[in-house]
Amino acid sequence: MELTGSHTLDAPVSTIWTMLMDTDTLARVVPGVTRLEKTAENEYLAIAEIKLGPVSGAFTGTLSLSDIRENEGYTLHVKQNSKIGNADATVSIALKPLSDAQTEISFDGNARLSGLLARTGQRVISGVATTLTKQFFANVENELAADPTTHS
Amino acid sequence: MSNKFIGQSIKRVEDKRFITGKGRYTDDIVLPGMLHAHFVRSPYAHARVVSIDMTEAKAMPGVIAIYTGDDVADINGVPCGWQVNFRNGETMREPKHPMLIPTGSTAKHAGDAVAIVIAETKAIATDAAESVMVEWDELPAVANPAEALKPGAPKVHEQFPDNTAFDWSLGNPIEEVDAAMAAAAHVTTLEFVNQRVVPNAMEPRAYIGAYDEMADKYTLYTSTQNPHLIRLLMCAFVLGIPEHKVRVVGPDVGGGFGSKIYHYTEEALVTWASKQIGQPVKWTSDRSEAFLLDAHGRDHVTKAEMGFDADGNVMGLRIKTVANMGAYLSTFAPAVPTYLHGTLLQGLYVTPKINIDMTCVFTHTVAVDAYRGAGRPEATYLLERLMDLAALEMGMDPAELRFKNFIPKFDGVNEPGYQTQVALQYDSGDYAPVLERGLEMLGYNDFRAAQQEAAKTNKLLGVGFSTYVEACGIAPSAVVGALGARAGLYESAQVRVQPTGKVSVFTGSHSHGQGHETTFVQVVADKLGIPMEDVELVHGDSDTVAFGMGTYGSRSLAVGGSAIMKSIDKVLEKGAKIAAHKLECAEGDLTYDEGKWTVKGTDKSIGFGDVALTAYVPHVYPAGLEPGLDFSSFYDPANFTYPFGCHIAVVEVDKETGKTTLKRMIAVDDVGNVINPMIVDGQIHGGLAQGIGQAMFEGTIYDENAQLTNGTYMDYCMPRADDLPLFETDRRTTPCPHNPLGVKGAGEAGAIGSTPAVVNAVIDALWSGGHQVKDILMPMTPERVWRAMNN
């Protein structure tokens, strides 16, 4: 399953970077994630509840960050296990300043699905991926709106 | 004998219980104290089991036992029943197919089981199975058979680094075929994929193992096509239990299409576990497991070339195919791409030089085995696609091209059978009439004009032909034994005449949709001249039926029916002795008709019932003759049977969307003598739907990790009634010369002939619109057809 998207946010790159490196904020903006616990430097235990079209499930797994380049981006690695199958996603997130007050956030990666998750219609799941992407960007915007300090 | 029932469209007697919901399938059976199983399966196509943590699952209330690979290490894997060695003599590579994948070993396809969880209810077993924590180390996987042969491809079995199970060739020496092709005026070349399909029986597989400690005897209820074969395989090869300690029952079974021939690990595991626990254990596959684990069909990647002289006479046929075997060799798997495929490549044509080269490979997918037609649809697809394409390329009429190349008529009695270049000798055939009749039904003379008119519109019209021959009535044991079968393929039958003259017939054939309870009874009632109500058919239970090889390969009537005929002959022969004694005449003075023996030229006679009663109450009885009227027989056929036919598809293709509409489907089949025309029509209809399904709708889709991505009915497209036209069927009759009923078999014909007819029709439609397309990958979705027209 391909995961790609980009979105322009009304905030400077440093603000977005701080948000993306903050555990609590990350837990709030990543769709479906209900809990994120730091287990080591840049490694987290992640609990997620996701409804993917006809199947829904509680996922537990790890979330780790690598290739961290300040104000530029990092690679997010998510490995989630559930009763309905496992998901293993590697997504590189890139930040690009468009101006002092605008930043383009884009990501590109793919998710490997297994078990019932894989069998139950990648057709449906691609749609779900699009929805999750939109949710992610909307969540980031909500975070920015909620926190006045983030606006320059 | 009378002829009241044979040839009549008598309604199926078994349908009363099926259509009123009173069929008794394995899952309907509830035994006292019965437990339920659920399997923990690999979510990955290729992954090492690092650890299995059962702590949470074992603690759940209602969980009785959990077994892993270590618990069943002593049980053999499920066996393969057919050995095909490499061309160079190397033994077929036969990896063990373990019951459960133990810690440290690798799962070879998605769904490979690592543990069986047994609990008081199915729900508890399912929940507990989901709580078994397996740590996996995912490894690279390959699903495509051609990819599996490439250097560096992920290995399915470490010990076989080239992923090859065996290779095989058949026919004339390749040099002779190469020479014929080199001399040809025209060579039609076609590279194509015969895609993998899922059998989709309506009833999912279901098994119950039950062990009776007092009798020291196991009973296995199983949704199978061949209870005795399962007993043989499970007892002798897997569990090592003597056969008389195991009863296998195949009750009502809701369709098999081949997928229920094989012995599956789950059957042996529930049987084994029932003794460990001391309670019956049931497992019923869910639909998702059925998609993933029921042996699939087809999956060939082929390059085929057919050479013609300037007049359109076929000069040679050269084929290279890679066949996907899946991760393990299923029960009959090696026979399917070889002896059930390569041997059919003569088709209906006088092709003088034929060579086929098969490479059969392992991939990280579930096993491929026989699926309705088994090898013969693949052979027919190849030949018939080539014939229609060659006609288009050479500017010839596809029907004329066939008439020109048909093998001349032979009845197998006055003229000998036809010896092919690929081992088989056809029993009887008369091929031109089925095509003539098909053309007549089509209205071929008018069709081409309509097609030209349609080409001016947005809806292209196309016609596709397919004239097939198949090998049914499987199979002469000595022949298949020489070809690597590890079993005989005869059939047994017992005809027990009860003292009152009612008749119980025990057959080793198994009915799972074929209507044996009707057709077999029609035969027996006619041969004995008694009412059908006086005959019962007993099948599917190894404790009541002496032996049997089951039902597949369109064999039941041709082989099982012939065994019944042998027993009837014995009944009538002994009955005549008793009748002669009672009537005080010589046996030779008697005739048997309408259920009674009559002294020729007199009105003195004795009925079948009186003779039966005398046999059991032998007060006035021939000296030295045993009482009773009960005979068993085994019948081993002298040859395969060779039904043939002509299938014609007419399609409309929307130029703008690529959507194909099947407008007409004509099937003229010659299946030998017919016992029940309505049942034959039903078999043809079902086969046509499956063959059309492969052409237009069905097919597995694996992702790059060898995950099956369309394992649901939302994603795997099955043909529906409104996708199909009203089928136009007719028959011609060329009796089988070597079995007593003259029957050839009709179970697979529909699925064998129809697929290439439909694809040919779409190709023909595209050519009529100026798109000289050679091939469209099946299933022919609108997108693929549109791309074919627009690339």
Give the residue from chain A lying closest to B43, CA to CA: A115
Count of A–B CB contacts within 8 Å? Answer: 56
Torsion of CA B336, B341, B342, B348, to 10 degrees: 160
Q: Quick check: helix, strand or coil at residue B79? A: coil
pLDDT at residue A52, as a whole number: 63
pLDDT at residue A151, as a whole number: 46
Strand duo B281-284 + B113-119: pairing: unpaired
Hey, which residues 45-64 in chain A have their CB within 8 Å of chain B? 54
* Pair of tokens at residue A146: 């909620």
Chain B residues in contact with A114 by the CB 8 A cut-off are: 43-44, 110, 138, 705, 707
Out of B41, B43, B291, whose CB is closest to A86? B43
Which of A114, A116, A126 has the highest number of chain B CBs within 10 A, making it the mutation to test binding with B? A114
Chain B residues in contact with A113 by the CB 8 A cut-off are: 707
CA dist., res. B308 & res. B282, Å (int): 58
**Is the Cβ pair B43, A88 closer than 8 Å?**
no
CA dist., res. B260 & res. B459, Å (int): 42
Q: Note whether B198 contacts A: Cβ–Cβ < 8 A.
A: no
CA dist., res. B687 & res. B699, Å (int): 16
At position A73, the amino acid (one-letter code) is G
- Beta strand spans in chain A (E): 2-9, 33-40, 43-52, 55-69, 73-82, 85-97, 103-113
Residues of chain B with pLDDT under 70: 1-2
Nearest to B136 by CA among B209, B222, B49: B49
Chain B residues in contact with A54 by the CB 8 A cut-off are: 712, 714
Q: Note whether A32 contacts B: Cβ–Cβ < 8 A.
A: no
Distance from the A54 Cα atom to the nearest Cα atom in chain B, whole angstroms: 10
* Pair of tokens at residue A119: 């069998």
Q: Note whether B138 contacts A: Cβ–Cβ < 8 A.
A: yes
**How do the residues of chain A divide into helix, strand and coil, expressed in percent and rounded to 5?**
30, 50, 20
Distance from the A82 Cα atom to the nearest Cα atom in chain B, whole angstroms: 9
Q: Note whether B706 contacts A: Cβ–Cβ < 8 A.
A: no
Out of B703, B705, B712, whose CB is closest to A120? B712
Which of B710, B716, B781 has the highest number of chain A CBs within 10 A, making it the mutation to test binding with A? B710
Residue that the structure tokens 């383009």 belong to: A104
* Pair of tokens at residue B149: 């042969």
Nearest to B781 by CA among B688, B683, B729, B715: B715
Out of B136, B288, B705, whose CB is closest to A112? B705
Largest CA distance in chain B: 87
Q: Note whether A118 contacts B: Cβ–Cβ < 8 A.
A: yes
pLDDT at residue A6, as a whole number: 92
Chain B residues in contact with A118 by the CB 8 A cut-off are: 43, 110, 703, 705, 707-709, 711
* Residue B172 neighbours by CB under 8 Å, 6+ apart: B353, B354, B355, B421
Chain A residues in contact with B705 by the CB 8 A cut-off are: 112, 114, 118
Three-state secondary structure of B7-33: CCCCCCCCHHHHHCCCCCEHHHCCCCC
Backbone phi, then psi, for B363, in 5-degree steps? -140, 170
Q: Quick check: helix, strand or coil at residue B506? A: strand
CB count within 10 Å of CB B710 equals 22
pLDDT at residue B131, as a whole number: 92
pLDDT at position A150 over 80: no
Out of A83, A119, A123, whose CB is closest to B291? A119
Q: Are B365 and B111 in contact (CB under 8 A)?
A: no
First to last CA, chain A: 37
**Is the Cβ pair A121, B710 closer than 8 Å?**
yes
Q: Could you tell me which residue, A84 or B745, shows the higher pLDDT?
A: B745
**Is the Cβ pair A118, B110 closer than 8 Å?**
yes
CA dist., res. B651 & res. B759, Å (int): 9
* DSSP state for residue B414 in the 8-state scheme: S
**CB-count burial class (<10 Å; 0-12, 13-18, 19+) for A79:** middle
Structural element, H or E, at residue B292:
helix B287-293
Kindly write down the DSSP assignment for every residue of B510-543, as one continuous string: --SSS-HHHHHHHHHHHHHT--GGGEEEEESBTT
Give the residue from chain B lying closest to A111, CA to CA: B705
* Pair of tokens at residue B478: 């000595």
Q: Are B360 and B168 in contact (CB under 8 A)?
A: yes
Chain A residues in contact with B703 by the CB 8 A cut-off are: 118, 122
pLDDT at position A152 over 60: no
* Pair of tokens at residue B269: 């595991």
Separation in Å, CA B169 to CA A97, B122, B318: 64, 48, 11
CB count within 10 Å of CB B421 equals 21
pLDDT at position A49 over 90: no
Largest CA distance in chain A: 47
First to last CA, chain B: 64
Q: Are B388 and B651 in contact (CB under 8 A)?
A: no
Give the residue from chain A lying closest to B45, CA to CA: A114
Nearest to B62 by CA among B145, B137, B129, B112: B129
Tell me the H-state helices in B489-624. Answer: 516-528, 562-583, 608-616
CA dist., res. B356 & res. B368, Å (int): 20
Chain A residues in contact with B43 by the CB 8 A cut-off are: 85-86, 114-118
Q: Note whether B712 contacts A: Cβ–Cβ < 8 A.
A: yes
**Is the Cβ pair B711, A119 closer than 8 Å?**
yes
Q: Is B177 left (phi over 0), alpha (psi -120 to 50) or beta?
A: alpha
**Is the Cβ pair A122, B703 closer than 8 Å?**
yes
**Is the Cβ pair A119, B709 closer than 8 Å?**
yes
For chain A, domains (ranges, CATH) are 2-145 (3.30.530.20)
Chain A residues in contact with B44 by the CB 8 A cut-off are: 86, 114
Which of B296, B707, B710, B715 has the highest number of chain A CBs within 10 A, making it the mutation to test binding with A? B707
* Sheet arrangement for strand B106-107: B106-107, B47-53, B133-138
Distance of CA B400 to the CA centre of its chain: 32
For chain B, domains (ranges, CATH) are 31-139+202-255+260-293 (3.90.1170.50), 297-474+639-790 (3.30.365.10), 490-635 (3.30.365.10)
pLDDT at residue B1, as a whole number: 54
CA dist., res. B150 & res. B173, Å (int): 27
Q: What ipTM does the predicted assembly reach?
A: 0.78
Count helices and strands (H / E) in chain A: 4, 7
Q: Note whether B291 contacts A: Cβ–Cβ < 8 A.
A: yes
Q: Are B674 and B522 in contact (CB under 8 A)?
A: no
Chain B residues in contact with A115 by the CB 8 A cut-off are: 41, 43, 110
Distance from the B377 Cα atom to the nearest Cα atom in chain A, whole angstroms: 27
